[in-house]
């Protein structure tokens, strides 16, 4: 149960990191690299066995949060949707090469 709670917190943390990077206007490549680094540290603190690896957290975020942002009627501005799409692609690229 505690591991699932940690996973949920990591997913929400990833959502917050991407949102903060977008709000700060951070360049996507630089922001995504910093997010992966930060998520790696948080993941290792939450689970030293690798069960909460950044790639796994990203995949769950992608199916649990990302579609809601892109959903018609979500209230997300078009620019915000484009930013989330850009971060999704950049994070996928960085996490696939790890």
Cβ–Cβ < 8 Å for 68, 74: yes
CB distance 36 to 54 below 8 Å: yes
- Residue-wise pLDDT for 11-43, tens only, equals 999 999 999 999 999 999 999 999 999 999 999
**How far, in Å, CA of 51 to CA of 90, rounded?**
22
Owner of token pair 């030293």: 48
Q: What is the pLDDT of residues 69-98, one digit of tens each?
A: 877 777 777 788 899 999 999 999 999 866
Tell me the pLDDT band of 1, cut-offs 50, 70 and 90.
low
Tally the C-alpha atoms within 13 A of residue 67's C-alpha that lie toward its C-beta. Answer: 5
Task: Place 56 in a pLDDT band, splitting at 50, 70 and 90.
Answer: very high
Q: CA dihedral defined by 53, 58, 61, 63, rounded to 10 degrees?
A: -110
Average pLDDT over residues 45-51: 84
């Amino acid at each position: 149960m505690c591991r699932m709670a940690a996973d949920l917190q990591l997913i929400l943390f990833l959502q917050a990191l991407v949102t903060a990077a977008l709000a700060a206007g951070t360049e996507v490549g630089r922001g995504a690299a910093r997010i992966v680094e930060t998520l790696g540290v948080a993941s290792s603190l939450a689970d030293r066995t690798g069960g909460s690896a950044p790639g796994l957290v990203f995949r769950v975020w992608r199916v649990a949060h990302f579609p809601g942002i892109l959903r018609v009627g979500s209230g997300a501005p078009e620019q915000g949707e484009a930013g989330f799409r850009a971060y999704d692609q950049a994070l996928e690229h960085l996490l696939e090469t790890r």
